[in-house]
């Protein structure tokens, strides 16, 4: 892999100097105009500096947007199949780098190596999928109501797209945004999450190696206020694609509103797995464990609620708690570890606060976990026990608010109808699932659960790149990522009419 930087940091990590990574603007790796940097540390061991990154400002953003604006003039005219060939090369190259990038991601984000491999694999899959869209950006042709008149619809790119991405899927989610934008002829300025910039550096450098022209993809690192807001507010940025919290997403929407700037928001979730009395309990238990504690619960699709029919509630709870207690917490690079750290000290404190809330809410019972882990090497990271609350009421805060950590609430219900009601009765509408052997219940739930994603006999996590990804209510603003739906985010429709009659024909008037 080509080197992205030439300097090393003065601070050391176990005797090794940490690499200084630069911004990528107009095809070159350049230092920020501020001259300042920030450290990215391993959440499993905060003594380790993963890398040093640019603390950028609006001046760096302006330079990046200007480069993207200029590059758009020629990139939009490159035939879409030719643009797609570059994306295909990226997928091929990512396969070669998969292990390296997965290891880097585990060190900067914390989730176990098997999951970071999956994160890189999503970027591979998205590269291949969107490469195919280079020859499939279909429009429509329809008969005209007039004689000697032809009409069709075509997609057109929008221009410079600003992207603000989160830390929990630091390569997959940037790929969901960048690849459809590029194949449609847009150019990009991306701000990675400050907690996980290295994975975006790796992804952008792979694009560079595979022949993306200068200025087509630009990356600027730094804080949301110093970098994110200037991207959102820049008049040459035609669309903002944001993934993150609902609170920040609301602010992004407000900033885009006055200029009618297009904005795609993918935000939080409070996802539920329904377990009916006829469910395959072994399968449902495995699903709830993986959905609740995979990625340390730090997924917008995480199974933070399990809604269980009373007839099987006690048996489910007993087995689920046993399984949760057996999960090994530690450094994600250790193949024996099941659950890695939370991303940061602040996120760990949030989890601890919600555990306290759960303990104090009348009726809920802490069944296991509930503590920060500090023994041995764990004292140097941000580790929390897998935590389970039982007998949770649907109106409790731990059943209503997104925690984004390894905390699962178990909610007993008396009937199928009550399970659907409890599932829907939250502010979010991202993902849900049901475990049942009754096909009628399965199809009823598929119809009545109001979410953007729904699973039958599977956990609430596991989306694939060729179907739309996103949710309802406070989860988003109606757009979808991935699949063909992503093309609608990063393009606009143009209806074209060709009159070859040689005379004026007036639609809706002439007979």
- Residue 16 pLDDT > 80, yes or no? no
- Residue 7 pLDDT > 90, yes or no? no
Bridge partners, residue 8, by sequence: 19
Give the residue numbers marked as catalytic: 266, 300
Tokens representing 412? 């007993």
CB 172 within 8 A of CB 199: no
- Residue 105 pLDDT > 80, yes or no? yes
d(CA 406, CA 408): 7
∠ Cα 250 256 258 (to 5°): 115
Tokens representing 494? 């143009």
pLDDT score of 511: 64
DSSP for 403-435, written as a single string: --SSEEEEEEESSHHHHHHHHH-SSEESEEEEE
- Residue 4 pLDDT > 60, yes or no? no
**DSSP helix/strand/coil, 383:** strand
The CATH number fitting domain 21-135+148-265+476-493, selected from 3.30.300.30, 3.30.470.20, 3.40.605.10, 2.130.10.10 = 3.40.605.10
pLDDT score of 73: 98
How is the chain split into domains, by residue range? 21-135+148-265+476-493, 271-456
Round the average pLDDT of the chain to a whole number and report it: 96
Q: Which fold has domain 271-456?
A: Aldehyde Dehydrogenase; Chain A, domain 2 (3.40.309)
d(CA 307, CA 423): 8
- 8 pLDDT band, cuts 50/70/90, is very low
- 9 pLDDT band, cuts 50/70/90, is very low
Maximum separation of any 2 CA atoms in the chain, in Å: 85
Mean pLDDT value of segment 86-104: 98
pLDDT (tens digit per residue) in 224-264: 999 999 999 999 999 999 999 999 999 999 999 999 999 99
- Residue 460 pLDDT > 60, yes or no? yes
DSSP for 477-503, written as a single string: SS--BSTTHHHHHSEEEEEEEEE-SSS
DSSP 8-state assignment for residue 56 = -
pLDDT (tens digit per residue) in 115-151: 999 999 999 999 999 999 999 999 999 999 999 999 9
pLDDT (tens digit per residue) in 312-335: 999 999 999 999 999 999 999 999
Q: State the Cα torsion 465-81-88-193 to the nearest 10°.
A: -60
pLDDT (tens digit per residue) in 355-404: 999 999 999 999 999 999 999 999 999 999 999 999 999 999 999 999 99
Q: Which phi and psi (to 5°) does residue 95 adopt?
A: -60, -40
pLDDT (tens digit per residue) in 341-360: 999 999 999 999 999 999 99
∠ Cα 268 123 200 (to 5°): 75
């Amino acid at each position: 892999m080509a080197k992205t930087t030439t300097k090393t940091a003065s601070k050391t990590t176990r005797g090794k100097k940490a690499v200084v990574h630069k911004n990528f603007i107009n095809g070159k790796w350049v230092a920020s105009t501020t001259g300042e940097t920030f450290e990215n540390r391993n959440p499993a061991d905060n003594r380790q500096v993963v890398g040093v990154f640019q603390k950028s400002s609006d001046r760096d953003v302006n330079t990046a947007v200007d480069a993207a604006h200029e590059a758009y003039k020629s990139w939009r005219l490159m035939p879409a199949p030719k643009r797609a060939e570059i994306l295909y090369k990226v997928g091929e190259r990512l396969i070669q780098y998969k292990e390296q990038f997965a290891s880097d991601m585990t060190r900067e984000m914390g989730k176990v190596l098997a999951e970071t491999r999956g994160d890189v694999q999503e970027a591979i899959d998205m590269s291949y999928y969107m490469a195919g869209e280079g020859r499939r950006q279909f429009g429509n042709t329809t008969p005209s109501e007039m004689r000697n008149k032809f009409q069709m619809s075509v997609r057109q790119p929008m221009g410079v797209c600003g992207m603000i991405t989160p830390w929990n899927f630091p390569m997959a989610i940037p790929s969901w945004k960048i690849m459809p934008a590029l194949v449609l002829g847009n150019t990009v300025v991306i701000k990675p999450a400050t907690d996980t910039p290295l994975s975006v550096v790796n992804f952008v450098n792979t694009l560079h190696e595979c022949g993306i022209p200068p200025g087509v993809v630009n990356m600027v690192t730094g804080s949301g206020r110093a970098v994110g807001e200037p991207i959102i507010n820049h008049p040459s940025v035609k669309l903002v694609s944001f993934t993150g919290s609902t609170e920040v997403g609301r602010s992004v929407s407000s900033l885009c509103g006055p200029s009618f700037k297009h904005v795609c928001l993918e935000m939080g979730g409070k996802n539920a797995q329904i377990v009916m009395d006829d469910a395959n309990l072994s399968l449902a238990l495995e699903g709830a464990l993986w959905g609740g504690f995979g990625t340390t619960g730090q997924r917008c699709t995480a199974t933070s609620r399990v809604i269980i029919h009373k007839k099987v509630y006690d048996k489910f709870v007993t087995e689920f708690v046993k399984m949760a207690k057996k999960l090994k917490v530690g450094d994600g690079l250790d193949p024996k570890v099941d659950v890695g750290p939370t991303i940061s000290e602040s996120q760990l404190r949030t989890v601890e606060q919600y555990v306290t809330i759960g303990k104090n809410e009348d009726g809920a019972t802490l069944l296991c976990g509930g503590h920060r882990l500090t023994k041995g090497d764990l004292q140097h990271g941000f580790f929390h026990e897998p935590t389970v609350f039982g007998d949770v009421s649907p109106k409790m805060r731990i059943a209503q608010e997104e925690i984004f950590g390894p905390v699962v609430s178990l909610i007993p219900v008396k009937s199928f109808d009550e399970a659907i009601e409890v599932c829907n009765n939250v502010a979010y509408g991202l993902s849900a699932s049901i475990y049942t052997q009754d096909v009628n219940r399965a199809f009823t739930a598929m119809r009545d659960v109001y979410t953007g994603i729904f699973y039958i006999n599977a956990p609430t996590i596991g989306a694939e790149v060729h179907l739309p990804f996103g949710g309802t209510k406070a989860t988003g603003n109606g757009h979808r990522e991935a699949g063909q739906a992503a093309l609608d985010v990063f393009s606009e429709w143009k209806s074209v009419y060709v009159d070859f009659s040689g005379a004026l024909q007036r639609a809706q008037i002439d007979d």
